[in-house]
Amino acid sequence: MPMTRNREQCEAKRNSKTGQLQPDKCVKTQVRKREHEKMLIHGGKKLSGEVVIGGAKNSTVALIPAAILSRTPVTLEAVPHIQDVENLMAILADMNVKSEFHDTVLTIDPTQIKDTPLPNGKIKSLRASYYFMGALLGRFGRAVVGLPGGDDIGPRPIDQHVKGFEALGAHVSDDHGAVVIQAPESGLHGARIYLDMVSVGATINIILAAVTAKGKTVIENVAKEPEIIDLATYLNNMGAIVRGAGTDTIRIEGVPELRAKAPHTIIPDRIEAGTYLAMAAAQGEGVNVKNIIAEHLDAYLAKLEEMGVNMDVHEDSIFVYPSGDLKMVQIKTMPYPGFATDLQQPITPLLLRAQGEGIIIDTIYPTCAAHSRITPHGCRHYRSRRHHYFAPCRSAQWR
């Protein structure tokens, strides 16, 4: 049964002039906490105009924990208005770190931070909270962090994170579901680390721990996502020495401490951008998608062009023309710079507008294919139809 919570419930009346609902009388009541909100979509209309892409969610959830490494206040710009930000701010508050979020600017003051264990509670509210492992280890030489929750996209083991922490000299153990990490009395030391599999999370966590470790750290077979480059830029502007972000090998020279000196603007969200591009191609009459770094979407744009989507790619925007006949394509998700697994869902409705038969193979997170039927071989096949119909559906995850 859904949980309940207290909330101020407002009765409403309709304004006779504007026709809009306005609050009339508010009373305290108990309402059910919904597991998933509903979205009612009135379709059948062409889209036109422009949309501005916000800051990258996958950068934001790493940069906020990384802020505790700074000995001075941190300012982040272009921060998206998402629940993950609110959750991370609540976790910061548990460590006596003050934060304020206005418009798209988030200020974080870690100068009075307290070394606080985070074994459970808010830390389990999102998967990316595991970045506090590397951030706390780099700041205090120890961390107690509960294994996080987040969206349901299948298992994401942290063995590569643990491998990196141990290579830096830390001892890692499990205490009733919480990860306990302790650096030696002499502190963390540089090391050569080879990741057995490409992992964005492990790459970020090891960087966060290594920037204040003594000596030189070399991490090989790292993730090359734009969010890794964004993190390295952010840390370097605080005084860290991180080289090679965006390549297979990252080299780090440890420094005693970090100090933020200037605001950092988060890169545009390539997943949000890809979603609007697909929507513009499927149902647009000319849509301009602004605040884009096209290079971050090379593999995705190549597939749109292969389908026959007509676009003008500019320095920081993409204009999508009305689409004619589209052809089906084959897609295989891969680590960056390949086709992003988070973009296979947004492109699915566009594929249904295409002619022929196509296939999508997700090699990263197979359960991300939960929005459609999967064949026994782990692939999804699509055949185009002349007509599509609306129907109620349930989303098992945020994608």
Q: What is the CATH number of the domain that holds 90?
A: 3.65.10.10
Give me the pLDDT at residue 230, please.
Answer: 98
Regarding whether 241 and 291 lie in a shared domain, the answer is no
Residues 144 and 164 in one domain: yes
Instruction: Judge if the upstream peptide bond of residue 337 is cis by omega within 30 degrees of 0.
Output: yes
- For residue 153, give the nearest of 377, 328, 333 by alpha carbon: 333
Residues facing residue 214 across a β-bridge: 189
- The parent domain of residue 11 ranges over 1-35
Do 303 and 228 lie in one domain? The reply is no
- Global confidence as pTM: 0.84
Per-residue pLDDT of the chain (399 residues; tens, 9 = 90+): 344 333 333 334 444 444 443 444 433 333 334 455 788 888 889 999 999 999 999 999 999 999 999 999 999 999 999 999 999 999 999 999 999 999 999 999 999 999 999 988 888 878 788 999 999 999 999 999 997 654 433 445 799 999 999 999 999 999 988 999 999 999 999 999 999 999 999 999 999 999 999 999 999 999 999 999 999 999 999 999 999 999 999 999 999 999 999 999 999 999 999 999 999 999 999 999 999 999 999 999 999 999 999 999 999 999 999 999 999 999 999 999 999 999 999 999 999 999 988 899 988 866 555 445 434 344 555 555 444 444 454 545 544
Packing angle, helices 200-210 and 159-167, rounded to 10:
20
DSSP-assigned states of every residue in 90-148:
HHHHHTT-EEEEETTEEEEE-TT-----B-SGGGGG-GGGGHHHHHHHHHHSEEEEEPP
Q: Is residue 151 among the annotated active site residues?
A: yes
Q: Which residue among the candidates 24, 151, 175, 298 is catalytic per the annotation?
A: 151
pLDDT of residue 258: 98
Examine residue 175 and state whether it is found in any structural domain, yes or no. Answer: yes
Last residue of a domain, one of 247, 265, 283: 265
Residue 393 lies in a domain: no
User: Are 253 and 286 members of one domain?
Assistant: no
Domain boundary among the residues 265, 288, 303 is at: 265
375, with CB counted inside 10 A (0-12, 13-18, 19+), is exposed
pLDDT of 154 reads 41
> Does residue 6 sit in the same domain as residue 63?
no
The reply to whether 46 falls in a domain is no
Closest by CA position to 271, among listed 295, 245, 297, 291: 297
Residue at 121 is within a domain = yes
389 falls within a domain: no
> At how many degrees (to 10) do helices 131-140 and 57-66 cross?
20
Where does a domain end: 213, 236, 265?
265
Q: What is the pLDDT of residue 364?
A: 80
Q: Using the 8-state DSSP alphabet, how is residue 56 labeled? A: -
Same domain, 214 and 282: no
Does 228 lie in the same domain as 157? yes
Q: Is residue 390 part of a domain?
A: no
Q: Both 253 and 359 in a single domain?
A: no
Q: Is residue 144 domain-shared with residue 249, that is, in the same domain?
A: yes
Q: What is the pLDDT of residue 149?
A: 55
Residue 299 lies in a domain: yes
241, 99: one domain? yes
Q: Are 304 and 292 in contact (CB under 8 A)?
A: no
Looking at the structure of the chain, the number of domains it has is 3
Q: Is residue 237 part of a domain?
A: yes
108: β partners: 74, 99
Residues 46/18, Cβ–Cβ less than 8 Å: no
For the chain, state the CA radius of gyration. Answer: 23
Do 251 and 134 reside in the same domain of the chain?
A: yes
Same domain, 77 and 220: yes
